[in-house]
Amino acid sequence: MNETAAKPASGQPDYVLDGADERPILVVLHQESSTPGRVGQVLQRHGVRLDIRRPVLGEALPESLDDHRGAIVFGGPPSANDRDDYLRTELDWLQVPLSEERPFLGICLGAQMLAKHLGATVSSHPDGLAEVGYYPLRATEKGRQLVPEWPRMIYQWHREGFDLPHGASLLAEGDWYPNQAFQYGPAAFAVQFHAELTLAMMYRWTTRGHERLRLPGAQGRRAHFDGRGIYDPPVLRWLEAFLARAFGRKVTGR
């Protein structure tokens, strides 16, 4: 059976990602054409099943996560501040994983929605800057305790960010948008960036969303592909370790 381990500073595996828990992870997507990308690939490669729901298409979210291993809310075109009924319902639904203390990960929009649910502000950069391309990432001490090795450059595709919610622990920070990753409670995580991006997704995003490449602070299309060739291997290593920590099982005596 394939498995991947998150290793603490001692070098001994602490969490392992495998199919021992047969329940699927709930995956929440915000477009008909969206996929869970490399996050889905990593999970499925290690025997983890996925239950994909798209609330924008009217698909309901479960009232409890008892039948799920955890949940991941991905990004998408909306803003966490939008008033669409399905987004407001999804924001309220975040109380389910929080109250049940079930493993949860919010990515980009999903991270902003978690921050907003927790009472933090989601807003654009005061100078109107967007992060579209590869930008610096710095792990905090808390972040390194969670996963020792973080990438120094990470792929971004956003023009809004979030304040750090009260009671949350900052895991990683950036220059223009200081709050890049946080943990809330024992099992909820949020990341502003896109470690899930596949090469095919980069082609789609930079083609269909080409207007974003002209936003203040955004990088040109060529820089995206050049950056992937340089910066991607550490991102994949981090993703494997992070998913093991967030959704894997703790092991001892290894």
Q: pTM of the entire structure?
A: 0.94
Ranges of H-type helices in 165-220: 199-208
Q: Looking at residue 252, what is its pLDDT?
A: 72
- Beta bridge partners of residue 158, listed in sequence order: 131
Closest CA to 139 of 127, 124, 157, 154: 154
For residue 251, what pLDDT is reported? Answer: 84
| pLDDT one-digit tens code per residue, 202-216 | 999 999 999 999 999
Output the average pLDDT for the chain: 94
Q: What is the pLDDT of residues 226-250, one digit of tens each?
A: 999 999 999 999 999 999 999 999 8
Cβ count near 148 (within 10 Å): 16
Mean pLDDT of 25-52: 97
pLDDT attached to residue 1: 46
Q: What is the pLDDT of residues 40-68, one digit of tens each?
A: 999 999 999 999 999 999 999 999 999 99
The answer on pLDDT for 9 being more than 80 is: no
98 vs 5, higher pLDDT? 98
Return the pLDDT at 11.
55
Q: What is the mean pLDDT of residues 133-140?
A: 98
